[in-house]
Structure formats: C-alpha cells, structure tokens
Structure 1
C-alpha cells in the first residue's frame, strides 16, 4: 500500500518542468520551524517536501506540509518504542521498486529528483515513515483489522453477488514455459519460435509431457509449478485457463523473453476467496486500516511534545 501511494505521488513527475526556480538561503533554510519530541523540523525540510508535492502538481499549504512532517516524526518515534525500524536495505528496495514502476533505475530516479532540487533523502524519509506506520498498525491491531466472512457475505448480498461467476473459485497448478528469443532479434525469429511453440503445444497432453518435451529443447525454459487461485489472477487469464483442458497448454504469446505458454496441470474448486470476495475483503480491510490509523495517529500526536519556533 505504501509503495502504491508513493508511486501515485510521483507518477506525474515526467510531465513537470525540469527546473524548479528559487531557493532559500542557507541560514533561512536550516532554521528550525518546529521541535517534535526534541527533534527539529527545519524550514529546509518543509521546502523539500513542498517540492516533492509539486511533482504531482499537488497544492497544499505550508501548514499542511508541516503537519505531515510532524506526523512522520511521531510515527518514527512510536515505531522505535515497539522496535519497528526498517533497515536501509528495506528502504532502498522500496525506492528501487518505485523507480522500476516508473521505468527508471534508482540512479535515474535520483537524478530526476535532483533536477527538481529535491534530495532523494526527502522521498526516502517519507517511505520510511509509511513503512513504519503500516507495520505498527498491522502488528498492534491485527485482530481488529480482520474482515469476517459475515461482512463479506453482507456486501455480496447487497450487490447481488449470488451468481455463479462471483461465488466459484478454483486453484490452478501451472507450469510456465518460455521459448527464448534473443533481444534485438527480428520479427521472423519471433514468428519461427511461435510456430515451433504451436507445433510442440499440440503434443502436450499432461504436465509430464510438457516437462519431458521442453526440458530437452535448446533455448527453452520450463518453470517450477506455480499454484494460484482465481483471486490471484486477472480476469483475462482466468478466462483462458478455464477454457484450457487440464494437461494442455495455453496459446503462445510474445513477451520480452520470447514466446510464452502455460501448461495447466490441474484445476480444482477451492474455498479460497473468489475475485469478487477478494475485492470486497481488500476494500473492507482498507477502510478498517484507515480508521484505526487515524485514531492511533491522533493518540500519539496528542501525547507528543510539539514546540513551534
């Protein structure tokens, strides 16, 4: 959830101007605006977070930005009380994930932020606070955040969710296969491997067949068995798998790696969430999480020593 939220903040960054004008003098920028439990928030911190806001064309007042920074200070402090402190590698990993979703490397992300006059630590400190807080809320209030089956059934009933398409769920055992095509190959090479895949696909009547055929084939990889439920898969893929006979393979598709297919080893009914139930469960959990998060934050902030300079 944290990564998704932060990515939304930065998602429009490439549409913003490369340069952000102006800047505070050193003395002014480093002057303390607020002390939170003995830790300073400087005017420079506020200016940095405001610049980060502008990447998403957000418009917040200085006080709103300051309130967010105060919240982050009390979140970090509360985390330390319970031994919740993400490592540097955890934060770097989250930063890297955000970068890749924006089709950048971490270095490119850092350069993009620097071009806007933003230190990468400004974003990383935000990441850290959200990671700490998510772990705290989930850990301390996990029982009250549970979503019961009654709640889900009530929502299904209210939305007319009794039709078979929303109440049936399957567990799939899958063996992904890739016929590798080197990057930079022309379309004829891709088409040749597609035809090869179609020919081999017709010979597969079980996952044992797939294992035997594709393990012996050069420049081909057959993955270990993957187990997924209906709720784990996008609708388009579920529809394909539901139409594929057990033991056979899905139609070849071109990907970055080459030509890919999936051998369907088994498909059996399961009591796991259907896609609709998973959607409702996630929605109800998010609502509970947000409510508990606001209540908890209000408590720790009221107990904090906040001194405005």
Structure 2
C-alpha cells in the first residue's frame, strides 16, 4: 500500500497541504504496528523560550515514519519542529492564533473523512504510540502559516491572466480562449414510430426555418406557435462546460441563428445561439496552470518568509 509523504508543508501547495496531511496521517496509522517505549523528555533546544524535547522529536519521527514509511533524519525532524515554533509565534504577532476548538474541529474533520469519530482517531493514534496532540500541533502550525502567508502577501501571490497566457504560449492561449454561450435548444418532434420519410420532411423543414431565424426572439415566436415543436428555456454555459464538438459548431454559428439540424431520438434538433461573449472563467488547462503557478509563488514566498522569521528567532541548543 503506497502512502504519500504529506508532512513536509513547505514542499506542497498551501491549498492541498492540510487535506493531504490528514489523508496520509490517518491512512498510515491503519497500516503500522504498535509503538515502543517513550524516551525521557530531555530538552534538546529552546526556541523563543519554548522547549523542544527528545520526546517531541520521537513523537514527530513516529508520525513522519508512519506517513512516509521511511525512517526520518533526526535533524530534519528537529528543524521541522523549530520551524513550527517560529511560525506559530509569528502568527500570534498578527493575531493568527487558532483556538482549541478550531484545532479540534480540524482534527474531527480528518476523522470524519476516514469514517472515524474523534475518539476513534485518538485511540488509533495512541495504539501506534503517538499522542493526539502531536498531530494537533502539526495541524495548528499548518493553519497558522497558510493563513499568515496568504494574508500578508496576498497581492504578490496573485496570478494574472497575462501570466497564465505567457505560460501557455500565445498560440495555445488563443486556441484556449474561453467563451460564455447562451443557447436555446429547439426540437421538431417526430414520433419514434414514424417512418423515415417523416424525419426527412422535418429535416428539410428545419433547414428552411434556419433562414427565417435571426434572433432568439424570432426562434421563440416561431417555435412556440408551431405544432409538434418545442423550444426550451435558455441555458448559459462556458467553453469548459460543453463538449469540444459542440463548441466548434457554436463558434461557427452567427449569434441569433440556428445550428445545423441533427436527427435524434426526439426528432430534429437545433440550437438557437442567443449570445457568445468572452468569459473570464478559466478553461481546465488554464485553471491547471493558474493553480500550479499559484502554488509555486506560495512555496517561494513561504520559504523566504520562514528564513526571515527563523533568523530573528532565539534558538538555543542544549
């Protein structure tokens, strides 16, 4: 069973790190066996007057080992704990200090996603020799740091449309332009039991009607008055929400006109194109690039900011 290593927050996107942390920690504790005897709580380092003990390092090492299925480097674990101390202190400077209720709610949410109650999750962790507070402290640091970085550097973390287009490349960006289409489906009804000649006759009728329709108002007036015909309520969709084949048809259809008729089970169908205008909504490709660029910006700013606050911290090794 593969369990991804999700506890290195500075190497993940802020958007997904908390969710991934939850999944990896909880899934992992279902796999591994019981823990060994806990070590003595000797202080290893003081961070801004707060101790980190051998017990803290041992607990975090076990949590990391459960999620990564590898034995973590002691110095890396210690650095992670130091980073969390300075992150939480920096958060308090700006009024970011999640309450115990906030942490408990996040902890309960983790359990819920794994179909566990908070008590069941706590017992599962304890069976592996991990105190629930070890995970809760990790949760607190993630919440504080994500909110702090995004709150303080919101403007510099934004990804503009120009940035996305540059990443896509001009030709790909142009081909990936997004539009918003307002449409009204139209059908000339043909009973399923009707002979093919009936469908052919209605197909020719639909072709003739295309020349009469110059707007959706025309389409409504014509098809609402016509027997054995129906025009449905207008719907609005973006390029990302409709099949590529339909998008190509709509892009070739003048606004206000009908698409070419198509024989279906209901009869002969067309679409009245009421409007087509550029949309600011992202296409799937643009959304993917935007999220990737946003994650990269967050990671870079997070590392720079962490280096800054860590240099200002009082770190005393024992």
TM-score of the aligned structures, taking structure 1 as reference length: 0.64
For the Cα contact (< 8 Å) 2:164–2:286, is it kept in 1? yes
Residue correspondence of structure 1 range 255-274 to structure 2 within 5 A: 270-274=279-283
Deviation at 1:148, TM superposition (A): 1.3
Deviation at 1:93, TM superposition (A): 2.2
List gaps (5 residues or longer) in structure 2: 1-14, 183-231, 248-274
Identify if the C-alpha distance between structure 1 residues 46 and 148 changes in structure 2 by more than 3 Å, giving closer, same or farther. same
CA distance in 1, matches of 2:309, 2:181: 43
Identify if the C-alpha distance between structure 1 residues 167 and 102 changes in structure 2 by more than 3 Å, giving closer, same or farther. farther
List gaps (5 residues or longer) in structure 1: 173-204, 208-226, 244-266
Identify if the C-alpha distance between structure 1 residues 139 and 65 changes in structure 2 by more than 3 Å, giving closer, same or farther. same
- In the alignment, what sits opposite 1:167? 177
Deviation at 1:3, TM superposition (A): 1.7
How many residues align structurally? Answer: 226
SS in 2 for 1:10: helix
- In the alignment, what sits opposite 2:46? 35
For the Cα contact (< 8 Å) 1:91–1:128, is it kept in 2? yes
CA distance in 1, matches of 2:101, 2:170: 45
Deviation at 1:96, TM superposition (A): 2.2
SS in 2 for 1:272: coil
Q: Does 1:3 align with 2:18?
A: yes
Q: Could you tell me which of 161, 164, 167 is aligned with 1:152? A: 164
Deviation at 1:75, TM superposition (A): 0.4
For the Cα contact (< 8 Å) 1:113–1:119, is it kept in 2? yes
CA distance in 2, matches of 1:7, 1:65: 18
CA distance in 2, matches of 1:139, 1:119: 31
- In the alignment, what sits opposite 1:55? 66
Q: Does 1:293 align with 2:308?
A: no
- In the alignment, what sits opposite 2:114? 102
Deviation at 1:11, TM superposition (A): 5.3
- In the alignment, what sits opposite 1:199? none
Larger radius of gyration: 2
Q: Does 1:120 align with 2:135?
A: no
Q: Could you tell me which of 77, 83, 88 is aligned with 2:100? A: 88
- In the alignment, what sits opposite 1:17? 32
- In the alignment, what sits opposite 1:276? 285
1:93-113 deviations in whole A, cap 9, x for unaligned?
222222223332322211111
Q: CA RMSD in A?
A: 3.2
TM-score of the aligned structures, taking structure 2 as reference length: 0.63
Deviation at 1:268, TM superposition (A): 7.9
For the Cα contact (< 8 Å) 2:181–2:238, is it kept in 1? yes
Q: Could you tell me which of 135, 141, 159 is aligned with 2:153? A: 141
4+ aligned runs moved over 4 Å, structure 1: 169-172, 227-231
CA distance in 2, matches of 1:136, 1:147: 18
Identify if the C-alpha distance between structure 1 residues 229 and 103 changes in structure 2 by more than 3 Å, giving closer, same or farther. farther
For the Cα contact (< 8 Å) 2:62–2:130, is it kept in 1? yes
Identify if the C-alpha distance between structure 1 residues 307 and 279 changes in structure 2 by more than 3 Å, giving closer, same or farther. same
SS in 2 for 1:160: helix
1:217-272 deviations in whole A, cap 9, x for unaligned?
xxxxxxxxxx99777xxx8xx65xx89xxxxxxxxxxxxxxxxxxxxxxx986322
